[in-house]
């Protein structure tokens, strides 16, 4: 189906505007106008309503902000929450900037693509305007001649009365021209072929799920040094982390040849002496500090076994002022601290050897002050 | 609408141009061979660019150790340059988008090149965060994509990730905005070019534009929407860049005023760069009728305004440091003014606060060479401002035992020069191959000879009394004006 | 010189007759009922103050400061609006310029009230207490009553003194139509902008931020500026629409004016939200114990819904409602949004001042005092508007609507 077009070319926007207004008044169907720049008032003259692209923009923006906020929430609070400086996992004030940027990005691109789509603009499209001088300095008005309903002469007369420099009658063929369709079909073959090749390669070459996929720049993923818990045949027992040989001791740690038995506790009392000087204020202070941190909870500040833990249901330890404790030697106390006794566990891991001797100094002081009236 | 003519409003385009003349004036430089001047400038810029490429290649292959950074001063030239270039880019969006929303028609002569300048500045800016990484080839880890590391996500709470999103959004939206504006102009060039490969390239990118008004109608809406989006975008981008510093605990960095202060500073330096480029371009490409002294005057006034805002921000920061009763804050500002880097502080104050005040004087604003020199000083001053903020706060912070000094290495200086080379190379290529003025927009504001004749012949330019008695209310009402 | 050329062109065109001027722009005649209502509200306010001094003294102090600062900021917003329009050479708002000029009358009135409050009630600020002793000598010097009061007086006097030439030149131009008034106004506007820029943040530091003398936020001044300008725009919108309903502006105010004012309101409210977010997010993020108490106090208990309502009233509602172009032109929508913004501004100041008293008496006193202040400001505004013609009839920008090829 083709239609007959009446085309008038003008040299100023004013003439075009007046001609368009007059045409609308007379009810001539205006196909379009062509201008080198957007002429104000022409949208009213053509009867165009405000574009609805603003709604597309708003919609895309809302989607953008929603998706961005939701994604940040999910990654930071649900999927893999990481404590960064104590900030709450769901830190909405910190999520606002990214959400805002994504909103703008989506809104902008959405509205631009919508515009290009609706206006049928795409790369490589051939220009199909009435005249190439439109982009320079000419203004064109295009009216459709609908059979006998439109008085062709009157329309051309209207154009002339508004100082048209040129008027034409054109037949416009409305069927789509062949070449673009042929181009699309060619592209379809190419892309379809590529898809087929990809599928074929995937099927034949396949992938071994037991081995890692292609990696980009693995760098330090596979180290040169042996992995700590891996198997290395060249090493004894295949282990990187070897156990120490029998008889090996840590530096500075002379071994204690005692068992965790009462008999050995007594033997320790006979054999070990406190290497620290009881009159040294530093060691006394140290002992007091360690006692307050470690022992006071059960034994109490005065050593009577009335610490807060003992008052809450744990069996209270015997008092230091009891006969047995007063008679106990330093070395046996050291054994008790190292190996534990009855309800008391070993404190060897928490309290260093020196600190244990210092605590014993403090215990003696408590016994002295407690015994005195 | 009444057409009272008054000398209060000067014409935007001089010389009584016709529309065809406008096309000719803007497109002619693209069609003739580039001048010797262009080649000289291009070769100089390209050699700076080459210097930068060599420096950056060396630095990526060898490591960040070739820079002068140390444990105390972890950021110096790299981030200074980054913030500097992002700031320069902001004036372009201001002119394109914000002035559009304020219906300032004079922007039409400068907005195309200003937007191009924004794009090139953002490209220069975006290089620095990438090269300042230890392993730039892993820069894609900044993007939150599902991965095989447990799906380790980026830290969305970090301003550095906000930067990544902000700069890439800013680049993409500026590109789109610039391109949408270019489409009608590309069509104009396409229609002027004789058939050949040039016509095909312009035709490809012109998307088949034919001047249809239905398309123009939607185009105007899209342009308005993009301008409305770009305005908060540009404010948000430099605010996010400022939060790189403001979210830290360092005195001199943590100040709630940083976002608006940085935005004002960005407009300040960007406008100075626009003026620098425009003043050269209008002379070289004979566009004095389009980029008139009025445009330069308006932009110089904007530079003056933002200079005052920046000066105010300096004052507020210093005063607040005193008022806060915090000795560390107080020390930072004293150190800036009197410490080992005081020379750079006083360069900054002189170039940003003192020298632009000359623009109050009308004589100065009308003397173009003086404006040019002032703008160069402004750019120097704004570079130093970023340097001061970063380095003085870092090199002497809470613990005196960590205090250190900083000196740039040749590699860093070469990288900075290279970024200027990249910027100017891109801009020169833009001037050579694309229309530097927004042809369609300026045709919309040019008052042609035909229009003037029509106005003169039609309505008798009424006197105030006549218009008052004849149509009193019309005279009081404001007539239709701009796009929005 | 260009000015001389313009002056010559101006002299050649005949003057508008005074009779014509009277026809075009009568002087305002406030409807007597409204006047009576305003006077009644003032009386109510006075009663509220008296009652409050007995039963809720801290509330009286807080609201006195709040409402007088509110008045000063409306006056400043009016003057600022005029100054910006002169400096940018804008012509769209010239027909409405008498409205912000009348708003500037609030500067001396509310300023005097503010000074009176500052002088009468030193206990309003914690740093007046004897045991307040900051480490730095500088801060001790700055936060001293005599210096503080002197500064406050200087601010108010400076503002009033710089608003005055703008108003006077505008009125004289009605009579002699001399272009030099526009030139002079431009210069005074530039000076006002510079002085305003420096004094507004100092004033907000002094009057509002020193309520907690250990807390500093560098963006506080800019934040207050955004708030006051938004409130000023909302007030202007209300007033121009009221004047149109009343009659005089029926043929003066067009849809375009409303659209522009609506756009400005939309933009400034978003700018306010941006600054609010800057301050909140940066303090939240750094989590510095020197700064966080400010927000922690305002998020406790009953303050929390008010804190959220602050953002909703000042930004969320204006943004969502004014997003569409049609809404920005619709008088009813603009009136509603402006009322919301003004309520939001009141709430913003209330949250900044953070009075501690509560109880039924405080609510009564607050409502009474607010109504009283509104009544007073309305009376002052009408008085200011009645001093001259409603439209600056001989303004050159008014008589030179732009044609194609020129700026607005």
**CATH code for the domain in which residue A296 is found:** 1.10.760.10
* Average pLDDT, rounded, for chain B: 88
The residue-averaged pLDDT of B313-329 equals 92
Alpha-carbon distance B464 to nearest alpha carbon in chain C (angstroms): 6
A34 touches chain B (CB under 8 A): yes
Query: Which candidate in B1, B9, B298 is best for mutational testing of the C interface (most C CBs within 10 A)?
Result: B9
Which token pair is B25?
A: 């004036």
Is A21 among the domain residues? yes
Q: Do the chains contact at C219 and B256, CB–CB below 8 Å?
A: yes
Among the candidates A173, A198, A221, a domain finishes at: A173
Angle between helices A53-73 and A92-118 (to 10 degrees): 150
Alpha-carbon distance B20 to nearest alpha carbon in chain A (angstroms): 5
Is A349 among the domain residues? yes
pLDDT of residue C16: 40
pLDDT band at residue B9, thresholds of 50, 70 and 90? Answer: low
Nearest one of C272, C259, C233, C239 to C77, comparing CA atoms: C233
CB count within 10 Å of CB C319 equals: 14
Q: B340 pLDDT exceeds 80?
A: yes
C-chain residues near B106 (CB < 8 A): 407
Which residue among C284, C323, C324 places its CB closest to the CB of A93? C284
Nearest one of C33, C62, C34 to C48, comparing CA atoms: C62
Cα–Cα distance measured from residue A202 to residue A194, given in angstroms and rounded to the nearest whole number:
12
Give alpha helix (H) positions in C104-219.
Answer: 106-120, 137-142, 145-176, 180-207
Query: Which candidate in C278, C280, C281 is best for mutational testing of the A interface (most A CBs within 10 A)?
Result: C281
Is A212 among the domain residues? no
Is C331 among the domain residues? yes
Is C52 among the domain residues? no
Cα–Cα distance measured from residue B230 to residue A104, given in angstroms and rounded to the nearest whole number:
8
Answer yes or no: do A163 and A279 share one domain.
no
Answer yes or no: do C76 and C206 share one domain.
yes
Answer yes or no: do C89 and C151 share one domain.
yes
State percent of chain A over pLDDT 70. Answer: 94
Q: Do the chains contact at A86 and C285, CB–CB below 8 Å?
A: no
Number of domains chain C contains: 2
In this predicted structure, which of A60-69, B46-55, C57-66 has the lowest mean pLDDT?
C57-66
Which residue among B210, B230, B233 places its CB closest to the CB of A134? B210
State which residues form the domain around C82: 60-129+145-213+364-389
pTM: 0.83
Is C240 among the domain residues? no
Residue of C nearest to B443 (CA): C405
Query: DSSP strand E in B37-104: where?
Result: none
Nearest one of C340, C354, C282 to C311, comparing CA atoms: C340
Cα–Cα distance measured from residue C170 to residue C173, given in angstroms and rounded to the nearest whole number:
5
Q: Do the chains contact at C285 and A93, CB–CB below 8 Å?
A: yes
Planar angle of CA B213, B214, B220, nearest 5 degrees: 80
Alpha-carbon distance C268 to nearest alpha carbon in chain A (angstroms): 18
Answer yes or no: do C203 and C313 share one domain.
no
Structural contact between residues A215 and A221, judged by C-beta atoms closer than 8 angstroms: yes
Which residue among B8, B104, B256 places its CB closest to the CB of C217? B256
pLDDT of residue C337: 97
Cα–Cα distance measured from residue C401 to residue C395, given in angstroms and rounded to the nearest whole number:
11
Answer yes or no: do C150 and C73 share one domain.
yes
Answer yes or no: do C206 and C166 share one domain.
yes
How many Cα atoms occupy the beta-carbon half-sphere of C237 within 13 Å? 32
Q: B481 pLDDT exceeds 50?
A: no
Report how far apart, in Å, the C-alpha atoms of C144 and of each of C111, C154, C202 are.
Answer: 20, 15, 15
Among the candidates A154, A173, A192, a domain finishes at: A173
Residue of A nearest to B247 (CA): A94
The residue-averaged pLDDT of A266-280 equals 91
Answer yes or no: do C301 and C175 share one domain.
no
How many Cα atoms occupy the beta-carbon half-sphere of C253 within 13 Å? 27
Q: B304 pLDDT exceeds 70?
A: yes
Q: A218 pLDDT exceeds 80?
A: no
Which residues lie closer than 8 Å to B178 by C-beta, 6 or more apart? Answer: B96, B112, B115, B116, B118, B119
C277 touches chain A (CB under 8 A): yes
Q: Do the chains contact at C287 and A86, CB–CB below 8 Å?
A: yes
Answer yes or no: do A6 and A131 share one domain.
yes
Answer yes or no: do C316 and C371 share one domain.
no
Cα–Cα distance measured from residue C379 to residue C59, given in angstroms and rounded to the nearest whole number:
24
Q: Do the chains contact at A58 and C284, CB–CB below 8 Å?
A: no
Q: Do the chains contact at B172 and A108, CB–CB below 8 Å?
A: yes
Q: Do the chains contact at C254 and B239, CB–CB below 8 Å?
A: no
Domain containing B255 — which CATH number? 1.20.1630.10
pLDDT of residue C391: 85
State which residues form the domain around A92: 2-173
C-chain residues near B2 (CB < 8 A): 401
Answer yes or no: do C208 and C71 share one domain.
yes
Instruction: Count Cβ–Cβ pairs < 8 Å, chain A vs chain C.
Output: 16
Which residue among A50, A54, A93 places its CB closest to the CB of C281? A93
The residue-averaged pLDDT of A288-298 equals 94
Q: Do the chains contact at B327 and C406, CB–CB below 8 Å?
A: no
Alpha-carbon distance B350 to nearest alpha carbon in chain A (angstroms): 34
Alpha-carbon distance A27 to nearest alpha carbon in chain C (angstroms): 29
Is C237 among the domain residues? no
Is C188 among the domain residues? yes
Q: Do the chains contact at A100 and B232, CB–CB below 8 Å?
A: yes
State which residues form the domain around B186: 19-447
Answer yes or no: do A157 and A41 share one domain.
yes
Is B479 among the domain residues? no
A93 touches chain C (CB under 8 A): yes
Which residue among C197, C274, C405 places its CB closest to the CB of B235? C274
Is B345 among the domain residues? yes
Which residue among B173, B232, B451 places its CB closest to the CB of A105? B173
Alpha-carbon distance A220 to nearest alpha carbon in chain B (angstroms): 12
C-chain residues near A54 (CB < 8 A): 324
pLDDT of residue C355: 86
Alpha-carbon distance C280 to nearest alpha carbon in chain A (angstroms): 8
A-chain residues near B229 (CB < 8 A): 57, 61, 104, 107-108
Is C368 among the domain residues? yes
The residues in A 16-75 lying below 8 A from C, measured between CB atoms, are 50, 54, 58
Is B483 among the domain residues? no
Among the candidates A120, A143, A173, a domain finishes at: A173
Is B224 among the domain residues? yes
Answer yes or no: do C205 and C256 share one domain.
no
pLDDT digits (tens, 9 = 90+) for B203-212: 999 999 999 9
Instruction: Count Cβ–Cβ pairs < 8 Å, chain B vs chain C.
Output: 180
Strand order in the sheet with A2-10: A30-34, A139-145, A2-10, A166-173
pLDDT tens-digit profile, chain C (408 residues): 555 665 565 455 444 433 344 445 567 777 888 889 999 999 999 999 999 898 888 999 999 999 999 999 999 999 999 999 999 888 888 889 999 999 999 999 999 999 999 999 998 999 998 888 888 888 999 999 999 999 999 999 999 999 999 999 999 988 888 889 999 999 999 999 999 999 999 999 999 999 999 999 999 999 999 999 999 999 999 999 999 888 778 777 888 889 999 999 999 999 999 999 999 999 999 999 999 999 999 999 889 999 999 999 999 999 999 998 888 989 999 999 999 999 999 999 999 998 887 788 888 999 999 999 999 999 999 999 988 888 888 788 776 555 554 544
Is C187 among the domain residues? yes
A-chain residues near B108 (CB < 8 A): none
Answer yes or no: do C350 and C368 share one domain.
no
B-chain residues near A105 (CB < 8 A): 169, 172-173
Answer yes or no: do A7 and A112 share one domain.
yes
B19 touches chain A (CB under 8 A): yes
Number of domains chain B contains: 1
* Average pLDDT, rounded, for chain A: 87
Answer yes or no: do C368 and C306 share one domain.
no
The residues in C 300-339 lying below 8 A from A, measured between CB atoms, are 323-325
Q: Do the chains contact at C135 and B315, CB–CB below 8 Å?
A: no
The residue-averaged pLDDT of A244-269 equals 89
Cα–Cα distance measured from residue B199 to residue B189, given in angstroms and rounded to the nearest whole number:
8
ipTM score assigned to the predicted complex: 0.90
pLDDT of residue B479: 35
Alpha-carbon distance C278 to nearest alpha carbon in chain A (angstroms): 10
Q: Do the chains contact at B211 and A140, CB–CB below 8 Å?
A: yes
CA dihedral of residues C233, C239, C245, C246 (deg, nearest 10): -160
Q: Do the chains contact at A94 and C285, CB–CB below 8 Å?
A: yes
pLDDT of residue B452: 60
Answer yes or no: do A10 and A158 share one domain.
yes
- Bigger pLDDT: B150 vs C139: C139
Cα–Cα distance measured from residue A269 to residue C262, given in angstroms and rounded to the nearest whole number:
92
Number of domains chain A contains: 2
* CB-based burial label for A187 (10 Å; 0-12, 13-18, 19+): exposed
Residue of A nearest to B205 (CA): A123
State percent of chain B over pLDDT 90. Answer: 74
Is C320 among the domain residues? yes
Answer yes or no: do C327 and C385 share one domain.
no
Answer yes or no: do A154 and A276 share one domain.
no
C-chain residues near B473 (CB < 8 A): 251-252
A-chain residues near C277 (CB < 8 A): 93, 96
Query: Which candidate in A58, A88, A93 is best for mutational testing of the C interface (most C CBs within 10 A)?
Result: A93
């Amino acid at each position: 189906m083709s239609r007959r077009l009446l085309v008038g070319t003008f040299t100023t926007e004013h003439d075009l505007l007046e001609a368009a207004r007059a045409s609308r008044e007379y009810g001539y169907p205006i196909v379009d106008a062509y201008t080198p720049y957007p002429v104000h008032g022409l949208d009213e003259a053509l009867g165009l309503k405000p574009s609805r692209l603003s709604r597309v923009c708003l919609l895309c923006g809302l989607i953008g902000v929603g998706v961005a906020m939701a994604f940040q929430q999910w990654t930071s609070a649900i999927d893999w929450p990481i404590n960064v400086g104590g900030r709450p996992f769901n830190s909405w004030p910190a999520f606002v900037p990214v959400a805002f940027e994504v909103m703008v990005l989506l809104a902008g691109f959405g509205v631009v693509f919508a515009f290009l789509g609706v206006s049928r603009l795409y790369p490589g499209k051939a220009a199909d305007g009435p005249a190439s001088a439109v982009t320079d300095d000419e203004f064109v008005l295009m009216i459709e001649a609908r059979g006998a309903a439109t008085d062709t002469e009157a329309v051309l007369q209207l154009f002339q009365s508004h100082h048209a420099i040129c008027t034409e009658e054109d037949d416009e063929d409305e069927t789509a021209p062949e070449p673009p369709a042929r181009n699309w079909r060619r592209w379809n073959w190419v892309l379809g072929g590529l898809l087929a090749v990809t599928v074929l390669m995937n099927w034949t070459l396949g992938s071994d799920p037991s081995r890692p996929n292609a990696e980009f720049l693995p760098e330090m993923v596979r180290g040169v040094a042996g992995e700590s818990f891996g198997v290395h045949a060249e090493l004894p027992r295949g282990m990187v982390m070897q156990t120490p040989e029998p008889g090996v001791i840590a530096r500075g740690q002379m071994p204690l040849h005692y068992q965790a038995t009462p008999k050995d506790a007594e033997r320790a009392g006979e054999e070990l002496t406190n290497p620290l000087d009881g009159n040294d204020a530093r060691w006394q202070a140290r002992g007091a500090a360690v006692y307050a941190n470690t022992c006071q909870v059960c034994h109490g500040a005065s050593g009577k076994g009335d610490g807060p833990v003992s008052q809450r249901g744990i069996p209270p330890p015997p008092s230091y002022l009891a006969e047995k404790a007063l008679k106990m030697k330093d070395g046996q106390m050291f054994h008790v601290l190292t190996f534990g006794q009855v309800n008391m566990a070993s404190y060897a891991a928490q309290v260093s050897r020196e600190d244990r001797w210092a605590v014993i100094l403090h215990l003696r002081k408590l016994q002295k002050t407690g015994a005195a009236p | 609408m009444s057409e009272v003519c008054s000398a209060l409003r000067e014409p935007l385009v001089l010389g009584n141009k016709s529309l065809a003349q406008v096309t000719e004036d803007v497109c002619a430089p693209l069609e003739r061979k580039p001048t010797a001047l262009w080649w000289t400038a291009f070769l100089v810029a390209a050699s700076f660019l080459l210097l930068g490429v060599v420096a950056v290649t060396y630095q990526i292959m060898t490591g960040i150790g070739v820079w002068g950074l140390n444990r105390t001063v972890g950021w110096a030239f790299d981030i200074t340059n980054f913030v500097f270039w992002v700031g320069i880019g902001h004036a372009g969006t201001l002119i394109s988008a914000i002035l559009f929303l304020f219906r300032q028609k004079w922007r039409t002569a400068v907005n195309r090149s200003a937007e191009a300048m924004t794009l090139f500045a953002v490209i220069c800016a975006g290089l620095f965060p990438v090269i300042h990484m230890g392993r730039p080839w892993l820069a894609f880890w900044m993007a939150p994509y599902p991965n095989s590391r447990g799906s380790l996500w980026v830290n969305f709470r970090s301003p550095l990730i906000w930067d990544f999103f902000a700069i890439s959004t800013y680049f993409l939206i500026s590109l789109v905005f610039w391109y949408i504006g270019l489409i009608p102009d590309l069509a104009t060039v396409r229609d002027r070019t004789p058939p050949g490969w040039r016509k095909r390239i312009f035709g490809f990118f012109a998307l088949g534009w034919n001047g249809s008004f239905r398309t123009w109608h939607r185009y105007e809406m899209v342009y308005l929407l993009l301008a409305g989006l770009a305005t908060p975008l540009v404010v948000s981008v430099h605010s996010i860049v400022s939060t790189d510093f403001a979210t830290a605990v360092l005195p001199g960095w943590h100040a709630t005023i940083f976002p608006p202060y940085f935005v004002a500073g960005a407009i300040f330096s960007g406008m100075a760069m626009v003026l620098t480029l425009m003043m050269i371009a209008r002379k070289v490409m004979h566009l004095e009728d389009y980029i008139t002294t009025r445009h330069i005057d308006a932009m110089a006034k904007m530079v003056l305004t933002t200079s005052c805002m920046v000066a105010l921000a300096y004052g507020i920061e210093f005063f607040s440091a005193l008022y806060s009763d915090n000795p560390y804050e107080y020390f930072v500002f004293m150190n800036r003014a009197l410490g080992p880097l005081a020379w750079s502080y006083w360069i900054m104050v002189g170039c940003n606060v003192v020298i632009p005040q000359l623009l109050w004087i009308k004589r100065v604003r009308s003397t173009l060479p003086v404006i040019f020199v002032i703008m160069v000083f402004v750019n120097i001053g704004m570079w130093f401002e970023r340097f001061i903020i970063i380095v003085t706060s870092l090199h002497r912070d809470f613990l005196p035992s960590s205090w250190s000094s900083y000196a740039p290495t040749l590699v860093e200086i070469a990288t900075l020069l290279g970024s200027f080379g990249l910027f100017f190379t891109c801009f020169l290529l833009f001037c050579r191959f694309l229309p530097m003025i927004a042809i369609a927009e300026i045709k919309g504001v040019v008052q042609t000879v035909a229009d003037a004749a029509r106005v003169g012949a039609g309505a008798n330019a009424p006197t105030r009394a006549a218009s008052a008695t004849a149509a009193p209310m019309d005279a009081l009402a404001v007539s239709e004006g701009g796009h929005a | 010189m260009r000015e001389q050329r313009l002056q010559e062109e101006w002299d050649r065109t005949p003057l508008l007759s005074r009779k014509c001027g009277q026809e075009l722009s009568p002087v305002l005649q406030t409807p007597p009922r409204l006047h009576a209502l305003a006077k009644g509200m003032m009386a109510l306010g006075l009663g509220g103050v008296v009652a409050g001094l007995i039963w809720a003294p801290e509330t009286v102090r807080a609201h006195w400061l709040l409402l007088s600062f509110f008045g000063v900021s409306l006056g400043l917003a009016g003057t600022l609006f005029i100054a910006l329009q002169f400096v940018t050479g804008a012509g769209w708002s010239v027909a409405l310029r008498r409205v912000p000029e009348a708003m500037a009358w609030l500067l001396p009135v509310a300023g005097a009230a503010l000074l009176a409050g500052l002088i009468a009630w030193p206990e309003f600020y914690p740093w007046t207490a004897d045991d307040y002793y900051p480490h730095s000598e500088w801060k001790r010097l700055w936060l001293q009553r005599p210096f503080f009061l002197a500064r406050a007086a200087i601010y108010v006097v400076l503002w009033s003194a710089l608003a005055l030439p703008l108003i006077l030149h505008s009125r004289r131009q009605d009579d002699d139509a001399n272009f030099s008034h526009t030139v002079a106004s431009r210069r005074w506007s530039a000076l006002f902008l510079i002085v305003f820029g420096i004094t507004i943040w100092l004033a907000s530091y002094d009057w509002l931020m020193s309520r907690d003398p250990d807390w500093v936020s560098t963006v506080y001044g800019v934040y207050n500026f955004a708030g006051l300008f938004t409130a000023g725009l909302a007030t202007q919108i209300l007033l121009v629409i009221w004047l149109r309903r009343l009659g005089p502006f029926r043929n003066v105010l067009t849809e375009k004016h409303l659209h522009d004012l609506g756009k400005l309101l939309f933009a400034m409210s978003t700018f306010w939200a941006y600054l609010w977010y800057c301050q909140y997010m940066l303090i939240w993020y750094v989590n510095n114990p020197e700064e966080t108490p400010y927000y922690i106090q305002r998020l406790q208990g009953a303050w929390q819904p008010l804190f959220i309502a602050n953002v909703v009233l000042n930004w969320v509602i204006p943004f969502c409602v004014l997003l569409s172009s049609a809404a920005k032109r619709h008088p009813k929508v603009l009136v509603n949004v402006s009322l919301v913004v003004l309520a939001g501004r009141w709430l913003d100041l209330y949250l900044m001042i953070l009075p501690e008293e509560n109880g039924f008496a405080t609510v009564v006193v607050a409502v009474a005092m607010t109504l009283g202040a509104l009544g007073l400001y309305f009376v002052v505004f009408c008085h200011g508007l009645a001093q001259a013609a409603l439209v600056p009839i001989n303004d050159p920008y008014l008589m030179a609507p732009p044609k194609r090829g020129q700026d607005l």
